[in-house]
Structure 1
Amino acid sequence: MNKILVTGAAGFIGSHLVKTLYESGYEIDIIDSFENVSPLFKEDYVNIISKDIKDIDKINTSCKYELIIHLAAKSTILWCEGNLENCIQDNIIGTYRVLKFALKKEIPIIFASSRDVYGEPLSLPVNERAPTNPINLYGMSKLYAEKILEYKSSVPTIVLRLSNVYGIGDRIDRAIPRFIIGAKKYNKIIVYGGEQVLDYVSVEDVVNAFIKSIKQISNIKYEVFNIGTGIGITIAKLAEMVTERLGGKIEFLPYRKVDAKKYIADIGKAKEILKWIPSRNISNDLDNLVDYYSNIG
């Protein structure tokens, strides 16, 4: 049985990913702080090695991993703005620790990065050659982590720059769960700005991108791929779609400067090299999301 090490496995994306890996026959070791545990996470799928990424150096030297999937990060933009030192420790230094371990053991890496590395793009859609100019500390931390991997990694490395990921089991402070819970519980959705155009990709399609990356990584030295849909939707329209289903009013508040105003991914490279194509979209999935998040929070 092939063994994979996954950091951040108990989170939203990780919980979906380890389920798929487990069902595909992988043995999965994980490192996770368990600070933000998805309700979908099941310990039955995994072996918990540690709750601290600093312990990665203490992993038994006899462990032979086919791959490391590095998801662990502080991913809340506003939290990072107020906690710079912890953001650096978790997102940058944590990635460096993973890389050191991977180099010592000669293990390929798949790293979950973010569309936030681009900041405010000059044009749409955004391809992987576009300038990287983050406008928030989270995006900066992801970009520095990428640079460490790019310049220091001598093992096969894939970086997946994820668009806005949606799905069941997400944190309820993120936009779609927050909109649904707001409409259902308070009869009001609060929207910051509203004119922002963003690319929402399903967690199922993101998991499939990781699976496709596993299959292709032996052919790759270092590559970056955008993972999105190539389709944009305004935040205001997304809120309207929720109120069409649940009722309620929309309250628009001033735009937050740490939020990008536009992003649509050019996913041509992922289609060509990873043989990955998104199969879902937010319009078709919203009813299921409304059913799920209406009953929590």
Structure 2
Amino acid sequence: MAKILVTGGTGFIGSHTVVELHQAGYEVVIVDNFSNSNPKILTQLKEITGKQFDFYELDLCDEAKVKAFVASQPDITGVIHFAAFKAVGESVQQPLKYYRNNFYSLINVINAFDEKVDLVFSSSCTVYGQPDELPVTEAAPVKKAESPYGNTKQIAEEILQESCAVSPDLRVISLRYFNPVGAHHTALIGELPIGVPQNLVPFITQSAIGKRGPITVYGNDYPTADGSAIRDYIHVVDLAKAHVAAIKRMESKEATSNYEVFNLGTGKGSSVLEIIQAFEQSTGEKLNYTIGPRREGDIEQVWGDVTKSATVLGWKAELHVNEMMSSAWKWEKYLKDNPF
């Protein structure tokens, strides 16, 4: 049974990926420092899987501690690297915090394995900016980032690609996510935003349950069918399964290159107003929303071409937007009765 290290494994996508790795027969080791997650997630993971996972509280920016940890785990065969700061707005206010954390943690992990490891990197569709053509493919040009957070994803991909070019034993798959939403069907794990949610769906669920005020739809004058911005929303469980597929691809040694990139989305765009409608339809809850001005820096529309993920990675999203909304709502109701 191969042992996979999951950094940031108590976070939103990381925790769901731990579950899917376990169900696929992998042994999982989790590292996190709880800077953007909650220790109770470890209890939730045990309740879902029946497994007490090996966990180490560790700041990956501490080079000496990372080296010592990796040396103590000689049987780790692969890494899925989620650990990073991810709030766009905060990154604009504190760029050095983001550059330090997101680069040091990645570099320290690679160095600790002497550049000899299979690594799945958590990247983002933000690298595309506003694409020239839709749907956007992996061959689309990477545009100047709109935020320090987005820039860390771009530069991290460059670091990995350039490292792979000179280190044949370092094999990397960068997964460019579109918009992860939803929660596990058990409602025991889901998104746990700190403070006011910056993303649409957790704000919707918190508004619906009375924790927030009305939802603001930022702009209804975009060149889209209903005037609101369009994104490619993907269920977090589908996203988690893609990481398992990436690990299996590297294990099979089928890759023609030791650095590959894949889009992870549904291949379909949904507008903000369509997401609001889907939530109301799937939950029976009526939402209170207002139309506001466009938000600076927002991209008007983006969705991914996921042909490569289907044909090469052997993965495709299966869960519908209504399942994304209903699971997110089920999780929000669970949190109300079981606060973290």
Q: TM-score surpassing 0.5?
A: yes
Are 1:77 and 2:76 matched, yes or no?
A: no
For the residue of structure 2 that corresponds to 1:288, the secondary structure is helix
The equivalent position to 2:105 in structure 1, one of 89, 94, 119, is: 94
Q: Displacement of 1:295 after TM fit? A: 4.9
For the residue of structure 2 that corresponds to 1:190, the secondary structure is strand
The equivalent position to 1:257 in structure 2, one of 296, 309, 312, is: 296
The equivalent position to 1:199 in structure 2, one of 222, 232, 257, is: 232
Are 1:131 and 2:141 matched, yes or no?
A: yes
Which residue of structure 1 lines up, in the alignment, with residue 254 of structure 2? 219
1:90–1:45 distance in 2 versus 1, CA, 3 Å: farther
What is the one-letter code of the residue matched to 1:272?
A: T
For the residue of structure 2 that corresponds to 1:242, the secondary structure is helix
The alignment yields a C-alpha RMSD, in angstroms, of 2.0
Equivalents in 2 of 1:2, 1:105: separation in Å? 19
Which residue of structure 2 lines up, in the alignment, with residue 122 of structure 1? 132
What runs of 5+ residues in structure 2 fail to find an aligned partner? 184-189, 221-227
Which residue of structure 2 lines up, in the alignment, with residue 67 of structure 1? 78
Which residue of structure 1 lines up, in the alignment, with residue 186 of structure 2? none
The equivalent position to 2:54 in structure 1, one of 41, 47, 66, is: 47
Question: What count of residue pairs does the alignment treat as equivalent?
Answer: 296
1:277–1:251 distance in 2 versus 1, CA, 3 Å: same
Equivalents in 1 of 2:245, 2:217: separation in Å? 35
Which residue of structure 1 lines up, in the alignment, with residue 175 of structure 2? 160
What is the one-letter code of the residue matched to 2:174?
A: V
Equivalents in 2 of 1:287, 1:105: separation in Å? 42
Which residue of structure 2 lines up, in the alignment, with residue 110 of structure 1? 120
User: With structure 2 as the length reference, what TM-score do the two structures score?
Assistant: 0.81
**Is the Cα contact below 8 Å between 2:146 and 2:297 reproduced in 1?**
yes
**Is the Cα contact below 8 Å between 2:234 and 2:324 reproduced in 1?**
no
What is the one-letter code of the residue matched to 2:311?
A: E
**Is the Cα contact below 8 Å between 1:118 and 1:131 reproduced in 2?**
yes
Q: Which moved more, 1:151-160 or 1:255-264?
A: 255-264
**Is the Cα contact below 8 Å between 2:135 and 2:305 reproduced in 1?**
yes
For the residue of structure 2 that corresponds to 1:117, the secondary structure is helix
For the residue of structure 2 that corresponds to 1:251, the secondary structure is strand
1:212–1:256 distance in 2 versus 1, CA, 3 Å: same
Q: Displacement of 1:83 after TM fit? A: 1.4
Equivalents in 1 of 2:219, 2:285: separation in Å? 21
**Is the Cα contact below 8 Å between 1:199 and 1:228 reproduced in 2?**
yes
**Is the Cα contact below 8 Å between 2:118 and 2:247 reproduced in 1?**
no
**Is the Cα contact below 8 Å between 2:85 and 2:102 reproduced in 1?**
yes
Please list the CA deviations of residues 157-187 of structure 1 after superposition, one character each: whole Å capped at 9, or x if unmatched. 1000011001221134131121122133156
**Is the Cα contact below 8 Å between 1:200 and 1:281 reproduced in 2?**
no
What runs of 5+ residues in structure 1 fail to find an aligned partner? none
Q: Which moved more, 1:258-267 or 1:42-51?
A: 42-51
The equivalent position to 1:237 in structure 2, one of 264, 274, 281, is: 274
Overall identity of the aligned pairs, in %: 29
Equivalents in 1 of 2:323, 2:18: separation in Å? 25
**Is the Cα contact below 8 Å between 1:119 and 1:139 reproduced in 2?**
no
1:259–1:94 distance in 2 versus 1, CA, 3 Å: farther
